[in-house]
Amino acid sequence: MNIDNSIRLYNTVKFLKAKQIYYRLYYLLRNRSRKLVGLQPLLSKNSNATILKLEKSIHITDCYFGDREFKFLNLSKTFEDHIDWNHHEYGKLWTYNLSYFDFLTQNYSDKHLELIKDFISNLEHVKDGLEPFPLSLRGINWIKFLSYNKIQDKEIDDALYAQYYLLFDNVEYHLLGNHLLENGFSLLFGAYYFQDEQLYSKAKTILLEELEEQILRDGAHFELSPMYHQIMLFRLIDCINLIQNNDWKQQELLEFLTQKAEMMLGWIKVISYKDGSIPLLNDSANNIAPTTEALLGYAQRLNLTTQEMQLRESGYRKFSTDVYEMVLDVGNIGPDYIPGHAHSDTFSFELRREGKPFIVDTGLSTYESNARRTLERSTVSHNTVEINGQDQSEVWGGFRVANRARVIHLKEDDNFIEATHDGYKSDTIWHTRKWTYKSNTIVVEDDLNKTAQAIARFHFHPDIEASDILNAFNLGNNKFKIARYKYAAEFNKEIDAYVLEVAFSKSLKVEIVVP
């Protein structure tokens, strides 16, 4: 490892919590020692399961089509003779999705039961699917499926019970964030299904601690991805469904979970556009999480209310008129110790005109640690300013961030917002951006404290033509060019679109006319 990589690694690790470092080392050494002595995980554990009462949850999308045909992340695979539960052709996230068993929410069929049995028969060979994250999601999906269809099957229950103790033994304290929350949500389902005090105690501890930390005061999930917010809210409402409809533990967590869910409902309602879609900020993509409309409907069926929330601690702001909606980012990139879903996008924004996307985030197409992933997280791919060819925040390795931009000044009023970040402090440069809102125009002003080679970029939806851009932008005498980029509103889907690049050295004023 060269000196630059060592510095970058240090600037990444220094933000981790001691707990994360401890558990990384602990799990590494423990697993190596178990491997040396040939200790294998228990794949079946004698259980006494209880069919649960549950209101119908949310079905997101069909992903199983019979005859061993699956489609996840816009990539299809038909297995010939048998299902390879470790299939890696499309990357680890696709393999994860295969083992989530989300397809159990489709209309019941005997094929679904056969798939569970097939997975169990191959448990000793399963690799990624026995990691705690997919195990957590699969546990909830199996329990919901078995309970909805009143299926009591000793073989399935015993296999599931063993998997829950595998999860219990490998809770993701080394990662924290949404992974740990998923573990907690699932352990709660497992505790109720098996009426297991040990699982319940662990679930209760995780949920009380993590929801208190991870849900900000404005209702946002602290990783600041609208997509992950929807996913975490979905899981939280599922747990409320579980507790409301089952008397075990006398609903002791219900009030706390309800409070957090109603805050989260308020945030997602505010951040979503009028058509219900979300801004694709940080790691966000379409057709992964339940929609805002579906979440609000699910919550209403459980008699949850939506709190009135105002965007603050999340660092996002939203401004709307009769003709446009704008969401902008004037906050830090997220929790220091888990920025894996963060992008180098300080002062980026999205703009909709008359309900249609105009200026957009470039999106998310992959979680693979490759050049495309690095590009999608970089400053170049966001509607902000790149200075001296560098990123504001040093994103690398797929899910890592070393040095990162901090917002050091914020001023706002009814018709403007102004903020400064220090992402280029190594060059003693501070970037200030000001948005001024008018009825049918938006003025964006960028200022640097000293001259540099700066480029402001504005990325457009694929439906926007170059002529639309020229008609909407007043650039004064500044040099600009209209180039092409790849827009990715979904995983593994890239569409050609335009990006406007405006060069400046110290200050820039751009007026956007919104018809």
- Summarize pLDDT for 120-161 with one digit per residue, the tens: 999 999 999 999 999 999 999 999 999 999 999 999 999 999
Which residue is listed with tokens 């300013």? 385
Mean pLDDT, residues 75-103 taken together: 96
Token pair listed for 473: 């932008």
CATH architecture of the domain with range 315-515 = Distorted Sandwich (2.70)
What per-residue confidence (pLDDT) applies to 100? 97
Mean pLDDT, residues 31-50 taken together: 94
What per-residue confidence (pLDDT) applies to 389? 97
Per-residue pLDDT reduced to its tens digit, 378-429:
999 999 999 999 999 999 998 999 999 999 999 999 999 999 999 999 999 9
Check: CB of residue 224 under 8 Å from CB of residue 316: yes
* Choice between 481 and 2, residue whose per-residue pLDDT is larger: 481
- Strand order from edge to edge, sheet including 349-353: 316-320, 324-329, 349-353, 356-359
Helices (H), 122-176: 132-148, 154-169
Rounded-to-integer distance, Cα 304 and Cα 393, Å: 39
Per the prediction, the chain carries an average pLDDT of 96
What per-residue confidence (pLDDT) applies to 110? 84
Is 108 a residue whose pLDDT tops 90? Answer: no
Mean pLDDT, residues 452-463 taken together: 98
Rounded-to-integer distance, Cα 299 and Cα 238, Å: 9
Domain positions in the chain are: 315-515
What per-residue confidence (pLDDT) applies to 1? 60
Q: Which of the four pLDDT bands, split at 50, 70 and 90, describes residue 4?
A: confident
Token pair listed for 329: 């980012």
Collapsed DSSP state (helix, strand, coil) of residue 443? strand
Is 450 a residue whose pLDDT tops 90? Answer: yes
What per-residue confidence (pLDDT) applies to 198? 98
Per-residue pLDDT reduced to its tens digit, 244-293:
999 999 999 999 999 999 999 999 999 999 999 999 999 999 999 999 99
Query: Which residues, other chains included, contact 273 with Cβ-Cβ below 8 Å and sequence gap of 6+?
Result: 279, 325, 352, 355
Read off the pTM: 0.97
Helix or strand holding residue 154 (H, E)? helix 154-169
Give bridge partners of residue 481 from the DSSP assignment.
Answer: 501
| Percent with pLDDT over 70 in the chain | 100
What single DSSP character describes residue 460?
Answer: B
What per-residue confidence (pLDDT) applies to 106? 78
Mean pLDDT, residues 350-375 taken together: 96
Q: Which of the four pLDDT bands, split at 50, 70 and 90, describes residue 451?
A: very high
Is 5 a residue whose pLDDT tops 90? Answer: no
DSSP string across 275-341 = TS-----SS--TTSSPPHHHHHHHHHHTT---------TTSEEEEE-SSEEEEEE-S-SS-TT--TT
Read off φ and ψ for residue 12, nearest 5 degrees: -90, -50
